[in-house]
Chains A and B, each alone.
Chain A
Amino acid sequence: MSKSYRDGLPISPEKFVDQLMRLKRGSIGRREFLGLTGLGVATAVMARELGIMPTPAYAAENLGDRMSIATWPNYHDPATFESFKAETGVAVEVNVFGSNEEMLAKLQAGGSGWSLFVPTNYTISTYKKLDIIEALDMAKLGNFDGSQEDPRFTSEGTIDGTIYAVPKNWGTTGIAINTKKLTKPMTSWKEFWDTAMAEGDGRTMVHDYQLTTIGNALKYYGYSFNSLKQDELAKAEELLLKVKPHLFAVSSDYQPSMRAGDAWMTMCWTNDGAQLHRDIPEIAYVLGKEGGEIWTDFYAIPKDAPNKPAGYALLNYLMNPKVAVKEHLANGAPSIDARVNALLPKEVMDNPILYPAADLLKPLEFGAAATLTDPGRAELMARFKSA
């Protein structure tokens, strides 16, 4: 399918990106280009051009005219969906969630309405067990090339030899800090929690997400990020309850507050850290030296997806390296696809926010499946929030 739709385009995706790259080498400055607006304008122009001609390959398949995707805050280039719409006629509604639990709850209740969603590595086995995600029909995903993916990040998408999810990008969970407001160097989770109760009083945010908030509180004591042990969780709860009155907010969408200057420090994912640092250089992104989370986000299709053809079409579109490279430039997360990495500018590949030093990466842990469903962690998080 991928081949035939490309034939129908007035301009090939390859040429499209070449043009973008030329734009970049030309008069437009780096910051502007990387910024959403630069990309947005460029793609908007392209999209309009593409929209003039119908695309027979897509038109042949009945994709409908709309679909919904469930994803994370600030995780896509809005221009991607614009150009997808220009090519296929399918408008994409983006629903944003702050935790895997929230996505799971919505899928469990039924009728989520999503045709594509973005679960994290450790949740996929549970979705499979509950029988709420599709075994992917790889014939519809011609743009995906498993041999180009770094296996360190991809294994959890495949269960018993069947592919249920394909990787989007990987990343880490660290600390974003406004170094103008908080001048003490930050290197560890211990310092994060201590600062939250001192200089960062009333200005610190933690995720509305049990895995990272509890996990990084466990790190304060040097316990495993994934611990389910009662005594260790009790210690983490004690710390969280102590910190709670000093927090600015419990929310997984911290970019607006960090940008507005309401929050000075937050638990943060790689992609948000890269975006914040790109636009506001005084906001730094650091990893806790005790460890913490390393993750891969995947794309998966719910069993009850109302528009599976469009879900597959969008997924295949996103798997196109030329599209993916723009996504990565906009959202700032490190790619898993060697074809994408080959297209990314050197300064992106050298960015220490995306690719931290090996000794910082070493202690990081992938989330464990059991944490998603463990009633103890769920109730601990709920108690912390309602305290």
Chain B
Amino acid sequence: MSGAGHKPDPGNATGGQWPAGTEAAFSMRGTLLRKNLMTALLLAPATLWLVVFLVLPFVAIAIFSVGERAPEGGYQAAFTLAQYANLPARATAFWNTMVLAPVGAFACLLVAYPVAYYLALRAPERWRLILLALVVIPFWTSLLMRTYAWMYVLGGRGIPALLAYVGIEDVRLINTPGAVLLGIVYGYLPLMILPIYVSLERLDRRLLEASADLGATPLSTFLGVTLRLSLPGVMTGFSLVMILLLGEYLIPTLLGGGKVFFIGNALVDLFLQSRNWPFGSAIAITLVLVSVVVLIAANRISARLSGARRVDLI
């Protein structure tokens, strides 16, 4: 999942072809042709898929984004940059997303790290697999259902009712940025725990012993060795959660009551309510560009932090 830098890079043009010996032995035309045909066949389905369902849709919304809204809503052909000029009208949604996505990912990290640490380094051997399974199992209950359960817990009949019982009246939890943040941490916690666990689990324990033997305090061992070596996992988890949050729609919808708007919500709103397809397309394109920039930045930062070590997102 991470730390691919240790491995020989298959992308290397020379070393990546196997079986290397065969080629030299049978440099006959027919074999080469067959080899190329085979390569083409192997890549054909993926190419078709990528072109029809990634490139084509992207071209479509790029064209739409310079169009106009039809009188009854929808799309009407035109060439104008008006949609892009109107982007500031969604500044708040962009701002909410750009603040709550990193904050959410960071909050997620704060909760996930100790759990991953415990699982990888402290948990008794026979418990480890069970605990790990317990991290994954929530994925098998629909996120929608689990978030709906939070609607109940945070809503008037849940915690506020309990608080009223002990005399604290009129507490409001649902439809607040706090509720959305909680939903985010809840929904993405397993995604954060797993990559950190993987990087901690690979950690060479002798390093920790060596550090302690050399007189380092537990804190400086943690900071200097453990944390440092688990950074690739941390960055993988962080960028993964961050990227998913940039396009988040459900959690703000269910726990934000249409009040805490992410850019994903603004986008859906433009297609399902105000039927402004061109403006929606312009926002979609912008969102993709923002995601790419964020990802590149995250990779740069992680490369610097972990000493030029490349980190794959997945």
Residues of chain A at the chain B interface (Cβ within 8 Å): 99, 101-102, 104-106, 108, 126, 129-130, 202-203, 208, 210, 244, 247-251, 256-257, 260-262, 373, 375, 378-379, 381-383, 385-387
Interface residue? B101 (CB, 8 A): no
Q: Mark B265-292, 1 if CB is under 8 A from A, else 0.
A: 1100111111110010000000000000
Q: Are A249 and B72 in contact (CB under 8 A)?
A: no
Using a CB-CB cutoff of 8 Å, which residues 55-113 of chain B contact chain A?
69, 71-74, 89-90, 92-93
**With A202-B172, A257-B156, A373-B73 as given contacts, are A101 and B275 in contact (CB-CB < 8 Å)?**
yes
A260: chain B residues at CB < 8 Å are 155-157
Q: Mark B163-175, 1 if CB is under 8 A from A, else 0.
A: 0000000001011
Nearest-neighbor residue (CB-CB) of A262 within chain B: B156
A210: chain B residues at CB < 8 Å are 273-274
Interface residue? B261 (CB, 8 A): yes
Q: Are B172 and A378 in contact (CB under 8 A)?
A: no
Name the residue in B69, B73, B90, B160 with the highest tally of chain A Cβ atoms < 10 Å from its Cβ: B73
Q: Are A108 and B156 in contact (CB under 8 A)?
A: no
Nearest-neighbor residue (CB-CB) of B273 within chain A: A101
A99: chain B residues at CB < 8 Å are 273
Distance, CA A382 to CA B270, complexed state (A): 7
Interface residue? B259 (CB, 8 A): yes
Q: Are A203 and B172 in contact (CB under 8 A)?
A: yes
Q: Are A108 and B74 in contact (CB under 8 A)?
A: yes
**With A101-B275, A249-B257 as given contacts, are A386 and B73 in contact (CB-CB < 8 Å)?**
no
Using a CB-CB cutoff of 8 Å, which residues 227-265 of chain B contact chain A?
257-259, 261, 265
**With A260-B155, A382-B269 as given contacts, are A251 and B274 in contact (CB-CB < 8 Å)?**
no
A385: chain B residues at CB < 8 Å are 258, 261, 265-266, 269
B274: chain A residues at CB < 8 Å are 101, 210, 375, 378-379, 381-382
Contacts beyond the supplied A260-B155, A262-B174, A385-B269: 20 A-B pairs with Cβ under 8 Å? A101-B273, A104-B275, A105-B271, A105-B272, A105-B275, A108-B72, A108-B275, A129-B72, A249-B257, A250-B258, A251-B258, A257-B155, A262-B156, A262-B160, A262-B175, A375-B274, A379-B276, A382-B266, A386-B93, A387-B261
Tell me whether chain B's interface is mostly helix, strand or loop, or mixed: loop
Interface residues on B, range: 20 to 34
**With A203-B172, A260-B157, A262-B172 as given contacts, are A102 and B273 in contact (CB-CB < 8 Å)?**
yes
Distance, CA A104 to CA B70, complexed state (A): 14
A378: chain B residues at CB < 8 Å are 73, 273-276
Q: Are B71 and A373 in contact (CB under 8 A)?
A: yes
A203: chain B residues at CB < 8 Å are 172
Name the residue in B69, B72, B265, B271 with the highest tally of chain A Cβ atoms < 10 Å from its Cβ: B72
Nearest-neighbor residue (CB-CB) of A264 within chain B: B170
Q: Are B73 and A379 in contact (CB under 8 A)?
A: no
Distance, CA A307 to CA B279, complexed state (A): 34
Nearest-neighbor residue (CB-CB) of B72 within chain A: A373
Give, as a whole number of angstroms, the nearest-CB distance from B160 to chain A: 8
> Which 9 interchain pairs have the tightest Cβ spacing?
A249-B257, A260-B156, A378-B274, A250-B258, A262-B156, A386-B93, A261-B156, A386-B266, A386-B261
Partner of B265, one of A202, A247, A373, A386: A386
Q: Are B276 and A382 in contact (CB under 8 A)?
A: yes
Distance, CA A249 to CA B252, complexed state (A): 11
Distance, CA A260 to CA B272, complexed state (A): 28
- 20 A-B pairs within 8 Å (CB atoms) are namely A105-B272, A108-B74, A126-B72, A129-B72, A130-B72, A247-B259, A248-B172, A249-B175, A251-B258, A261-B160, A262-B156, A262-B174, A373-B71, A373-B73, A375-B274, A379-B89, A379-B276, A382-B269, A383-B90, A385-B261
B72: chain A residues at CB < 8 Å are 108, 126, 129-130, 373
B257: chain A residues at CB < 8 Å are 248-251
Q: Are B90 and A386 in contact (CB under 8 A)?
A: yes
B276: chain A residues at CB < 8 Å are 375, 378-379, 382
Distance, CA A249 to CA B72, complexed state (A): 28
Give, as a whole number of angstroms, the nearest-CB distance from B81 to chain A: 17
Distance, CA A207 to CA B274, complexed state (A): 15
Distance, CA A208 to CA B156, complexed state (A): 21
Name the residue in A105, A108, A208 with the highest tally of chain B Cβ atoms < 10 Å from its Cβ: A105
Distance, CA A261 to CA B261, complexed state (A): 23
Distance, CA A248 to CA B258, complexed state (A): 9
Distance, CA A225 to CA B269, complexed state (A): 23
Q: Are B259 and A250 in contact (CB under 8 A)?
A: yes
Distance, CA A104 to CA B275, complexed state (A): 9
Q: Are B156 and A375 in contact (CB under 8 A)?
A: no
Distance, CA A217 to CA B279, complexed state (A): 25
Distance, CA A202 to CA B71, complexed state (A): 36
Partner of A381, one of B71, B93, B172, B273: B273
Q: Are B73 and A248 in contact (CB under 8 A)?
A: no
Q: Are A102 and B92 in contact (CB under 8 A)?
A: no
B174: chain A residues at CB < 8 Å are 262
Distance, CA A101 to CA B273, complexed state (A): 5
Q: Are A248 and B175 in contact (CB under 8 A)?
A: yes
Give, as a whole number of angstroms, the nearest-CB distance from B118 to chain A: 37
Distance, CA A105 to CA B93, complexed state (A): 22
A105: chain B residues at CB < 8 Å are 73, 271-273, 275
Name the residue in B174, B265, B275 with the highest tally of chain A Cβ atoms < 10 Å from its Cβ: B275
A387: chain B residues at CB < 8 Å are 92, 261
